[in-house]
Structure 1
């Protein structure tokens, strides 16, 4: 922000000076040019102005240099502190997010395309890729880190106020690179803890005939080959974990809002929405699709 305000003010001053002299000399284009006269006093004034501008420039550059040094040092010290570790895996073209719990692995949380963090807590992102090179970029929080297959890179940041910020893959990774986004959701520690506890729960058992049939549609069609739903026999992690799908704001890595209509179109023919993605078309009858959608609405 220091660099932003310094460069912003300097830019405004330069443009204001330019506009002033353009306005002052505008009549020279239509009439006779102004006489060019110099005196010893004007030379001294010009010399002082140039000298002053050079001195101010040097001082501002030193201010930016010192500010950058202080910021870099603070970021470096983050690695010496305890931090919440979140694992991020890049896929073509979506983000798999793990909240590990080494002491009690069964308490691990797995989600997709939404990074929930508590305000005021130091976060360490440990990222890698499961296919090609991706780049995890949350521009409002910190710089980007390339995610390389077979390697793990880390990124540290701390969010100081609640909010939602969009992130993006910043390394070209194929046809749908532009549609590989995620959202960082910062909330109070109390709300974050409630979210974590809810995410640790298995999916609720279907309570109506329609949702029970919808669950069977899910478990007997190709959905079960790629997705997991906690509390059911679906345990594949080729695609996003769907245990709490209905709580997410978007589908297809930020491509569409998470609505019933969009979800129906995505299930039937994802290729028409995101060509080249790994989601195959699904041939379902109208009644099977409606029951499946009703079941997926319960995944909260």
Structure 2
């Protein structure tokens, strides 16, 4: 958790975290999108200037043009023909540019790292597939990727239409119930890039953020290896008591903690929740205090979410939050 917090602080200082601007690209798809945006804006600016100049010329020539109707009509016909031709050329050019940009950012390589992201109300379920004898694993609201590597995101929805958008890394893509969409994600620089659901999906739509952590390949490999493992038995007495309380309460019916009897699938996998940067889809930084506040009353912090308020004593709340924090 200390490493994750340090990464978050470093990213904030460098402007990589919290910046959701498509004009601050740090990945190949986002760079292609920026070039397209700048090109369209530049062309539209030139068109606006030309139209204003032509309008000014027409206003200045108005009185004189009335005296020479034939010449005025000929000039007007040539202007209209030129404008129509220019419009056709510009629209065709922008269409072709948009087509090639979309093609370049939407077709991941066959050997790209594949991650499945499933939108839920209102959080992100993330699946990393296994390979050969290597088991897969699941996390929530946070995607880790190696820099300089094409990542194939398979996008799905469990309930309503969501939209995945990390502006600094890629364009947006909808998550539609009953079908699977794909997009290419790539980061060229290490950092934490904040994303957001970009399709109104219900009451807590604005509190459905996702963090993409881009790191060196060696750091990514270490992170993935740690995520594949089961939760360790806590050594701290409070955390150990919290483990027992968690398994005895309804929490275990909704959440999975690998290595324990908790195997619920309704809520996020909590096996390594203590290593994540945030909880509740970006609502708060992962600390023992924020974990305790969320467990005590999730409906006050995020009204309408599917996590019920479980009656806990003060000691049980302290112990379970200590256990959650220990799950690195």
TM-score between the two structures when normalised by the length of structure 1: 0.79
2:288 is matched with which residue: 253, 257, 260? 260
Give deviations 1:203-231, integer Å, cap 9, x for gaps: 22211222211221212222212111122
Q: Residue 268 of structure 2: SS of its match in structure 1?
A: coil
Give ranges in structure 1 of 5+ residues lacking alignment: 24-32
CA gap of 1:161–1:75, structure 2 versus 1, over 3 A, is closer
Give deviations 1:143-169, integer Å, cap 9, x for gaps: 313331xx3413120314134131315
CA distance in structure 1 between the partners assigned to 2:150 and 2:293 by the alignment = 39
CA gap of 1:51–1:6, structure 2 versus 1, over 3 A, is farther
Q: Is this contact kept in 2: 1:6–1:60, CA < 8 A?
A: no
Q: CA deviation at 1:22?
A: 11
Q: Which residue of structure 2 lines up, in the alignment, with residue 9 of structure 1? A: 42
Q: CA deviation at 1:111?
A: 0.2
Q: CA deviation at 1:294?
A: 1.8
Q: CA deviation at 1:247?
A: 1.6
TM-score between the two structures when normalised by the length of structure 2: 0.73
CA distance in structure 1 between the partners assigned to 2:316 and 2:267 by the alignment = 21
1:101 is matched with which residue: 105, 111, 130? 130
Q: Is 1:137 aligned to 2:137, yes or no?
A: no
CA gap of 1:237–1:213, structure 2 versus 1, over 3 A, is same
2:219 is matched with which residue: 163, 188, 191? 191
Give deviations 1:171-211, integer Å, cap 9, x for gaps: 53x33333223222232322221210111122222112222
CA distance in structure 2 between the partners assigned to 1:84 and 1:232 by the alignment = 29
CA gap of 1:241–1:205, structure 2 versus 1, over 3 A, is same
Q: Which residue of structure 1 lines up, in the alignment, with residue 118 of structure 2? A: 89
Give deviations 1:52-85, integer Å, cap 9, x for gaps: 7666655443432332232344456546x23322
Q: Which residue of structure 2 lines up, in the alignment, with residue 153 of structure 1? A: 180
Q: Residue 289 of structure 2: SS of its match in structure 1?
A: helix
1:232 is matched with which residue: 260, 263, 273? 260
Q: Residue 239 of structure 1: SS of its match in structure 2?
A: coil
CA gap of 1:18–1:126, structure 2 versus 1, over 3 A, is closer
Q: Residue 297 of structure 2: SS of its match in structure 1?
A: helix
Q: Residue 111 of structure 1: SS of its match in structure 2?
A: strand
Q: CA deviation at 1:98?
A: 0.8
Q: Residue 195 of structure 2: SS of its match in structure 1?
A: strand
Q: Is this contact kept in 2: 1:268–1:284, CA < 8 A?
A: yes
Bigger relative contact order, structure 1 or 2 (CA pairs below 8 A, ≥6 apart): 2
Q: CA deviation at 1:238?
A: 1.6
Q: Is 1:274 aligned to 2:305, yes or no?
A: no
